[in-house]
Structure 1
């Protein structure tokens, strides 16, 4: 059976991440499936998420790198840019091309030059700087803007629980 180009690309990218490492991030395959990666992100320093251990899954389509993967946190997450089911909502994970709603330029969306590394670095940046103006989780965005002490308390509780779960 012939290897798909996406498999070859993903194997190389996983090797690069494993070899070079990204501080605070580890990645590996789920059940030897190159299209399913399990990721562990350590909450970035100097953020509310600091000290947390967040498991996530990257699910790549066979059309990768022409189409983006999906990323979903498996560890509970309270963040304006993460849906309540754990799916991550950042521009580079949106399908390529023009945004039919006009919120994003095509250059902000998925481009084949992106890689798992750029995705994971973007998610770390998202944890460092939530964007409540374009929320996936409206309740988290509202709480961040209107009741920051409650937002902070809720996030710190999730961070503690994530560390205890390991």
Structure 2
């Protein structure tokens, strides 16, 4: 199974290097391991994250594309849909099938048709419009709802730190 994953990941990497997508860059974290990628996500224009250069690690399982990768911000990130440890929580990165908690429909979760490009575009979309209804970071969601000025200030600090990295 991992031979198929290696071929698919190499193909996606080659496609992204030939045709870069605006808003992020991606490459191997280590040339000897196609399952570990380093990505840089540019803070989307007209959002609180604008101007940021957020670094994340993308780890693919051996049975990719049947199972989703994990994406974890290395840069400091303050967002309702990012766990305090940096791990991104969006529907398409959740294992395929029915949600045991009943929050998501199966068609919102991981599918083998997803690619690095669709994942990154979903993360950019997440930065543009946080979902505080089903938060991974409860403190960030609470601040987003109850102290928007404080939330913006904390995000601005993350943006500044990302520019210094």
The match for 1:145 is 145
**How high is the TM-score relative to the length of structure 2?**
0.97
Which ranges in structure 1 are unaligned for 5 or more consecutive residues? none
Query: 1:3 and 1:22 mapped to 2: Cα distance?
Result: 26
The match for 2:14 is 15
The match for 1:163 is 163
Query: 2:2 and 2:63 mapped to 1: Cα distance?
Result: 13
| Structure 1 position 3, deviation (Å) | 7.0
Query: 1:20 and 1:126 mapped to 2: Cα distance?
Result: 23
Which ranges in structure 2 are unaligned for 5 or more consecutive residues? none
The match for 1:86 is 86
Q: Which 4+ residue blocks in structure 1 deviate beyond 6 angstroms?
A: none
Query: 1:105 and 1:151 mapped to 2: Cα distance?
Result: 30
Matched, 1:62 2:62: yes
**How high is the TM-score relative to the length of structure 1?**
0.97
| Structure 1 position 164, deviation (Å) | 1.6
Figure out how many residues of one structure are paired with residues of the other and give that number: 164
The root-mean-square deviation of aligned C-alpha atoms, in Å, is 1.1
The match for 1:72 is 72
Cα deviation code 1:112-148 (max 9, x no counterpart): 0001100000000000000000100000000000000
| Structure 1 position 24, deviation (Å) | 2.0
The match for 1:52 is 52
SS of the residue 2:143 aligns to: helix
| Structure 1 position 150, deviation (Å) | 0.1
Query: 1:3 and 1:102 mapped to 2: Cα distance?
Result: 31
